[in-house]
Structure 1
């Protein structure tokens, strides 16, 4: 290789977030450095699987080297560790795009969480956020990547010390693999153990022993035959009896790029009209991309052990937290990825896998409710999206749903539990929505329900405001918001020790006055069944949008046409009766009526309808009180 045959390298700066990430990773997440090798091996395995896929339509790409492999080369004297594969490889442009950014790894979300947790137990952060290739800088002072795309004549080299810049340059093909990628880590002084055979073998066997590509290990420039560390036998093809929990956990971490354990593992082979193997995991902790806007899944699709795509929509979007793979024996290998998505075979697989996962969750909820509660705690807000989107499985999802309520003391309750506590003459499943559990529990609209011992479901997730509008019922009992329409509580007796007061003549007089004074602000002023201790509250009219949903849409800039709320008045409240005794000062009575409406709005988390008028009324009343 001479300077005449190779162009000068181009120097580039990392994206700002990547540069910060590299610095923070090296200085904050040292406790699990071993994970870097798993990440590099996973990348190499993916490259080999992509090569196998490309070779289906272009067998010539394999040349005289058809067998996929990953080779680890250790050199203690030079202080280097090399991870090499004969996969699909990269061009110089691919390197600049792939290794200069973290395009798909949620950089900003990772940064925010790393800053928040760097003083805590940081050992889970790398796996949790999938930083992949960049974890190499935890153990290397310099990283060089030499790659040659299969079928391309030229090669390129990428190099960086991880401090802010990287270079990309063409490379003489003779100095590069025939195809694939070679990653050379120039190890830090305190990371030289990663050039030791024992250390590397231990890490590979523990974390990457089940990748579907053979892994061999070579020491230095030795002419000895490379030593095989992993045989490349796909874990999902083995009998369940031959796989330990640790094997499953190791494979999950390698596949999902996470560092926790699976909370639930599902491994089976479907036979019959269609044959396919399934190995899926529900994580023990929330993946960082759980609430990504595109809500895409993370299930890999294989056909007869050939990796096809990780973008096939195997599971509905509300199960996007599930990690794993499906290996089909029926899909054609030569079908394009776009056509596979429309295949009736894939449709059958989608239905079968989705139903099986929900069935396993239901089985777990029955047999081990505490384990299931932990899964629901992490992923319930996402699973409930299915109540809005998946009509076919809505009944099953309602059975899986768990809720906290006014009577559950912070524990999770199923809808069957709720039906078991129905009161005499209760005809609906009552719920209250909001964005904070404690605040919902203190809502004045709940007072009448509590006085009658009626359980109310507390729904703090955004999706709750949507699925509850679908007109659902469970076992014939419809869902009904406590902040919408009439409460219909008069037929349900009060609990022992609770009492209600009949409206006094003075209270009825003030209600009639308020109805006239507030005619432009509310659709109705009426006596409330809901209230026992608060003076007033607002609710939505019977057929209008629920208050919380209306608030959410307004915050998103999609405010619906303004519908006047209903002001409900506690006719037995001493303040209401006292206001009904006031005579003479019409302006003061009007001010008091408006202030009660503003009080109800504030209790609901809303500002007064007219803040300036609210301040003026308050000032007038304080002035009169001081005379």
Structure 2
């Protein structure tokens, strides 16, 4: 079969040039990526053989082999793992960053222009194109692969110039070999000779020593036996004193395909009737696809040092899906399936224990390393708060570990415990306000009375906040209460004079309130005087047991319709516009100007909370008419 030549996508060609010429600050990492891919292929073959006896593959000597030829200037990385079919080669090798390529290229260009190599390497890791780092040191890359169980193999070849060729190979060993035709040793950008045995050993020792498969270096003479160059010691099985931070970091990078060091390393060892070891990592940044449906979790399952399953969802609750690492159990079957794991009592116990350990680590970081904690919460706080909706056993631990923006400090978030410590004398509730952004909620009229009385309010602007505040009734005996729902009566307000003044005001405005409730009946369920406004003329609030407009919209976006709840319009009787409207309504209740002003007040209240009138064009016309009359 003759070779076929295919072109990369336009964005993919741009990406490839960026990878080749300007992304990596350390070119040695190309070998780490190739060895990591080979290790994954061996893991997958071992797992496939356990689950399919008919596959008929020999797993007695699974290994990775490195072969260098100084004269020919080639370096080959071979494995006898799962291999790839023709279609898989196109899908996995022939397409670069097939999801979000254009956005990725743009971000890479920005990182390059800013001369931020760490940001660029981070992006490379996020989009999983480490294979293409080979082109940093090679003029041409040839990949030959045959999938286990298939008769024919595939050869993929590219010089990185925008095209690649595919060719069927009649006889190819099972697994994958990647051969790099290295640039001349005296090239300006070639700092090291990657055919030198000492350099290969150095790179493997630094980046891949922990890999549990043997990595063998084929000596320059064909008759010499391959020399093992990695220790194959499982880091999670060694004591903390025996492992350096650098070794932990490289294991994390191998598991996660990240290019940055983890934020925190978490070890756990359980002994007794059910024994297991866990080595977990909290990343230092959120991956680009953390909130997508197909996000791959990063906890691997081993049984007695034998790899069993990648991205084992049963080991970690969804709200901790960003955690990477390894769990090695002593008493599970090697041939366990995902379906069995979901029901396995031991796995469920491990899941609960691992979740508690991660949350305890977050809490400890808050107390012991505020800078690390700030990074963690900035990157993953939004997803951790999802646990408030699903993990009832750990709800208090999540609330204790969480941070929230508040009116107390524009820069520094607060914990709920700190909020409770600062509560005013007589205050019984923890007050909050939800919204799209801090800027929008900070200017909300709902905060006016709270600012005037110096009462702190939490500012909750993540989409998940709209959901969990409805599900969490209290913290430390203090009920959570929205400042934009229900009729406001600030804790500790017992002034008899105030109460009498309010009753008098209600009497003064009773006719206007009744008339406006009737006029705006299609939009609002009630018009009443407000205790929460000190500056603005009006605001709209949600009744105590009704869903907020934002929550309605969220359910609608998920394909679930909630019954529409009418809002309540509150008026500030001290505002000149409201006071004037009351007088005008008393004098000339049928005047069109009075009706228009009432409608304008409601529209202004909607705009103040970030909404908009049902008929924006009519609102603007009324506004223009009123302004014209006042000139």
Q: TM-score, normalised by structure 1?
A: 0.90
In structure 2, the partner of 1:184 is 179
Deviation at 1:474, TM superposition (A): 1.0
2:417 counterpart residue number: 416
- Higher mean displacement: 47-56 or 504-513: 504-513
1:92-131: CA deviation from partner (whole Å, max 9, x where unpaired): 3332332223578764663453244332213333234332
Matches within 5 A, 1:120-519: 120=114, 121-123=116-118, 124=121, 125-173=123-171, 176-177=172-173, 179-188=174-183, 189=187, 190-191=189-190, 193-313=193-313, 314-489=315-490, 491-492=492-493, 503=505, 510-519=512-521
Contact 1:267 1:279 in 2 (8 A): yes
Aligned partners of 1:504 and 1:571 also within 8 Å: no
| Aligned residues of 2:552 and 2:564 also touching (Cα < 8 A) | no
2:46 to 38, 48, 52: 52
Q: Which segment drifts farther, 466-475 or 333-342?
A: 333-342
Matches of 2:616 and 2:451, distance apart in 1: 32
Residue aligning to 2:498: none
User: Bigger shift: 314-323 or 251-260?
Assistant: 251-260
Partner of 1:613: 618
Alignment CA distance shift 1:368-1:493 (3 Å): farther
Q: CA deviation at 1:438?
A: 2.0
**Which sits farther off after the overlay, 302-311 or 278-287?**
302-311
Pairwise CA distance, 1:559 = 5.8
Q: Is the 8 A contact 2:146 2:154 kept in 1?
A: yes
- What residue in structure 2 maps to residue 604 of structure 1? 609
Aligned-partner Cα distance in 1 for 2:97–2:111: 23
Pair 1:613–1:304, CA change in 2 (3 A): same
Partner of 1:78: 72
Change (3 A) 1:388 1:577: same
Match of 1:533 among 532, 535, 541: 535
Moved more, 505-514 or 537-546: 505-514
Q: Which runs of 5+ in 1 are unaligned?
A: 1-6, 495-499
Change (3 A) 1:113 1:523: same
Kindly tell me: are residues 472 and 479 of structure 1, through their superposed partners in 2, closer, same or farther at Cα, counting changes over 3 Å? same
Change (3 A) 1:302 1:395: same
Q: 1:389–1:566: structure 2 CA closer, same or farther, 3 Å change rule?
A: same
Q: 1:157 & 1:102 partners in 2: Cα distance?
A: 18
Residues 390-412 of structure 1 deviation map (CA, whole Å, 9 limit, x = unaligned): 22221211111111101033212
Cα separation, 1, equivalents of 2:343 and 2:99:
28
Q: Which moved more, 1:292-301 or 1:508-517?
A: 508-517
Contact 1:109 1:288 in 2 (8 A): no
Structure 2 CA distance for partners of 1:157 and 1:243, relative to 1, 3 Å? same
Greater Cα shift, 117-126 or 236-245: 117-126
Give unmatched runs, 5+ long, in structure 2: 496-500
**Cα pair distance change 1:298/1:548, threshold 3 Å:** same
1:600, CA displacement in angstroms? 0.8
Distance 2:340 2:557 in 1: 40
Offset at residue 366 of structure 1 (A): 3.1
Inter-CA distance 509–117: structure 2 relative to 1 (3 Å threshold): farther
1:557 & 1:334 partners in 2: Cα distance? 39
Conserved? CA contact 2:429–2:491, under 8 Å:
no
- The equivalent of 1:562 in structure 2 is 564
Of residues 92-101 and 592-601 in structure 1, the stretch that sits farther from structure 2 once superposed is 92-101
Shift of the alpha carbon at 1:252?
A: 1.1
Looking at structure 1, the residues matched to 240 and 336 of structure 2 have their Cα atoms a distance apart, in angstroms, of: 31
Distance in 1, matches of 2:162 and 2:627, equals: 63
What is the CA deviation profile of residues 213-256 of structure 1, one whole-angstrom value per residue up to 9, with x for unaligned ones?
Answer: 22222354554343432122222221211011111112111221
Paired residue total: 611
- Per-residue deviation, 1:384: 0.2
> Which segment drifts farther, 144-153 or 548-557?
548-557
Contact persistence 1:263–1:281 (CA under 8 A): yes
| Residues 488-517 of structure 1: CA deviation (Å, up to 9, x unaligned) | 2274489xxxxx998498766644543343
What is the Cα deviation at residue 574 of structure 1? 2.5
Aligned residue number for residue 577 of structure 2: 575
Does the Cα contact within 8 Å between 1:506 and 1:581 map onto a contact in 2?
Answer: no
Tell me the residue number matched to 1:497: none
